[in-house]
Amino acid sequence: MSFSVMLTQLSAGMVKTVGIFALTLIFSLPLGFLICFGRMAKKGVAGKAAGIFFRAYISVMRGTPLMLQLMVVYFGPFFLFGMSIGSNWRFPAIIIGFSLNYAAYFAEIYRSGIESMPIGQYEAAKLLGYSKPQTFFKIILPQVIKRILPAVTNEVITLVKDTSLAYALAYAEMFTIAKQIVASKSDFMPFIIAAVFYYIFNLIVAMVMEYIEKRLNYYH
Amino acid sequence: MKYLEMNHVKKSFDGLDVLKDISLSVEEGEVVSIIGPSGSGKTTLLRCATLLETMDCGDLAYLGESAAAIVDGRSVYQKPAQLAKIREKFGLVFQNFNLFPHFTVMKNITDAPIHVQKRPKDEVYREARGLLEKMGLADKESAYPCQLSGGQCQRVAIARALALNPRVLFFDEPTSALDPELTGEVLKVIRSLAQMHITMVIVTHEMAFARDISDRVIFMDGGVVALEGTPSEVFESDNPRMREFLGHYARV
């Protein structure tokens, strides 16, 4: 197999890798906020119940392997409910598995940011008459985003590399293809190309995040 | 007219009685200073008056409108909507400013009048520029708080509180986080507000300042009002605790 054919096949896989990456972020970043709020809820019976539930959720999501979680999401409907699972289910299962897992990590990052805010910011907002939603969206959230950006960058970079776990469900993302070519052609080259692809992808991610950090550097 | 009235205020934290039956009333246009040793409950009293802390017992009213009343020996507060209306009647300047770091000076001052009070933008901006001028910060409107000195930050915080046109303005040790040089510029601004007859309640450790600008001075000690009166009555009192407290200043 020529180098250019390899490159073409791996590039096609790379499109799918980017797909997993982008969709996971689109779903898990907002979902993390819901989990974070549930985790931090304290008021009333419902709040306490939510607190316990989401604490357990985060604990399980962080305490078990992502690969196993992907398997559960993919095979669960069959083993638990006897539903037939076709190949149409493969991609949604991957996105659901990744999003549920990453949302748990993002929730804890958000919580660390929100809890690091000085109480004086809330008190000043209260004195000035801001409502609770106004206080959160205008005063707290912008500062939280600045504070958590480095931690989010870490997680996003990990996600780029974690997309390779989709091979567990035989989804033809870039690394799955690389392994197939290596096995069938006894050629080591696809692994090197894969490494370069991941590295460049992460270089771009790091540059974008650094740019955003710089944009938010106008205050401290 | 009584702008602020609080009676029989009690507050304890984890069994520690910080306020033991304190009453405080402030008339329109009055400047009241609260002095006293650390831990005497000055700041807690201020935080109760500004609804940042809930009283265990005590009533609280602004311009005759009740925020909390005593029922069976305990404070019962009005509904949140009513409290929100009462919050419009006072402002608070914090010891450590609590400016919003991601807002410019101008936005710190104008955001609440525009988005909370829903006042017209041009009017708010015009007033804000006037306030900044008065604070000696006319050239700082597009600066961020991190680019300002502590004294400048505190003056922005004063302008931010004034922009909402409060009837009573509270100061919680407004110069305690500042060095002597910066303290002077903040005190000068507060002094100018006193000359404009803005009703103020000031918790301070600046004795000469309190003596100079106050209509009335309250000396708190151990959670009670130990002494209250005109500045000369209080500062020239024979009260042994007051003499001891002032003695610490004389020695410095």
Give B60-96 pLDDT, tens digit per residue.
Answer: 999 999 999 999 989 999 999 999 999 999 999 999 9
pLDDT at A78 over 90: no
Q: What percent of chain A has pLDDT above 90? A: 76
pLDDT at B252 over 60: no
What pLDDT, on the 0 to 100 scale, is given for residue A82? 81
pLDDT tens for B19-74 read: 999 999 999 999 999 999 988 999 999 999 999 999 999 999 999 999 999 999 89
Q: Contact at 8 Å (CB) between B176 and B209?
A: no
A130 interaction partners in chain B (CB closer than 8 Å): 112, 115-116
Mean pLDDT of the A21-48 span? 95
Q: Contact at 8 Å (CB) between A2 and A18?
A: no
Q: List the single residue in A123, A134, A219 with the smallest CB-CB distance to B146.
A: A219
ipTM of the predicted assembly exceeds 0.90: yes
Question: Under 8 Å CB-to-CB from B215, ≥6 apart: which residues?
Answer: B30, B31, B32, B230
Q: Which domains does chain A have, with CATH numbers?
A: 3-216 (1.10.3720.10)
Helical pair A44-63 and A90-115, crossing angle rounded to 10 deg: 120
A-contacting residues of B 70-109, CB under 8 Å?
84, 87-88, 91-92, 94, 96, 98-102
- Taking the C-alpha atoms of residue A74 and residue A71, their distance in angstroms, rounded to an integer, is 5
Please check whether residue A123 touches B, CB under 8 A.
yes
Of B124, B119, B50, the residue nearest B86 (C-alpha): B50
In angstroms, the separation between the Cα of residue B228 and the nearest Cα of chain A is 28
Q: List the single residue in B52, B84, B99 with the smallest CB-CB distance to A123.
A: B52
What pTM did the predictor assign?
Answer: 0.89
Strands in B65-71's sheet, in edge-to-edge order, are B16-27, B2-13, B57-62, B65-71, B74-77
Mean of the per-residue pLDDT values of chain A: 93
pLDDT at B165 over 60: yes
Q: Do A138 and B112 touch (CB under 8 A)?
A: no
